[in-house]
Chains A and B, each alone.
Chain A
Amino acid sequence: SQKIEQNSEALNIQEGKTATLTCNYTNYSPAYLQWYRQDPGRGPVFLLLIRENEKEKRKERLKVTFDTTLKQSLFHITASQPADSATYLCALGMDSSYKLIFGSGTRLLVRP
């Protein structure tokens, strides 16, 4: 069956450390993968997109990797801040459709 898995347990880290979140998928062949941030009671906000032919993308303190062999994406936040505390969602996109297929998200807590 098709699955997208993100850590269901919250990730709790100290301010200044690097947060690494994982997104694994099964039985999908995505053309691209996106990461979104979602705060409680609000809609998701787009952060980064990485395509199947790209291995790494960076934007300020954010870095995303995409390994189509391992069927995995890693999302890194360097020099984390308490303001980074939120739920982070990965989403797969296919060539055949414009819909996004979301994982269930991982909650990140950054302690001051």
Chain B
Amino acid sequence: DTGVSQDPRHKITKRGQNVTFRCDPISEHNRLYWYRQTLGQGPEFLTYFQNEAQLEKSRLLSDRFSAERPKGSFSTLEIQRTEQGDSAMYLCASSFLGNTEAFFGQGTRLTVV
């Protein structure tokens, strides 16, 4: 399967713990995005990379959130000191330079207990 891959699919963690999610985009895609989606809502933009450069961050991305794309390939999203309000589906998407159509992964569902 050459689609966007996210790992893990599900994560349950205790409040205050750190979690890290991984996203492997479609291999020739330069752009990578992270979104967060809660039940009954559409995805909300978190951050965007073009190759390894993080070019845009949402104000939703508090200082507990950090994202990296070290070699312009896969990306990680880390949440430190998780809170119950962080419970959501975290979606990764990628697109090809010059194309705005985004290809989404299956998401990582985070539950903070």
Q: Determine if A102 and B101 form an interchain contact, defined as CB atoms under 8 angstroms apart.
A: no
The total of Cβ contacts below 8 Å across the A-B interface reads 64
Interface centre among A49, A99, A101, A104 (most CB of B within 10 A): A99
Residue interface mask A83-111, B partner, CB < 8 A = 1? 00000010101000111111111000000
Question: Can you sample 14 A-B contacts with CB below 8 Å?
Answer: A41-B107, A41-B109, A42-B107, A43-B93, A43-B106, A44-B43, A45-B104, A89-B42, A91-B42, A98-B50, A99-B58, A100-B43, A100-B45, A102-B44
B58 to chain A, nearest CB (A): 8
Residue interface mask A49-68, B partner, CB < 8 A = 1? 10000000000000000000
Interface of B is mostly: strand
Would you call A34 an interface residue if the criterion is a C-beta within 8 Å of the partner chain's C-beta atoms? yes
Binding site for B on A (CB under 8 A): 4, 8, 32, 34, 36, 41-46, 49, 89, 91, 93, 97-105
Interface size of B as a range? 20 to 34
Interface of A is mostly: strand
A101/B45 contact (C-beta < 8 A), A43-B93, A43-B106, A43-B107 known:
yes
Q: Determine if B104 and A43 form an interchain contact, defined as CB atoms under 8 angstroms apart.
A: yes
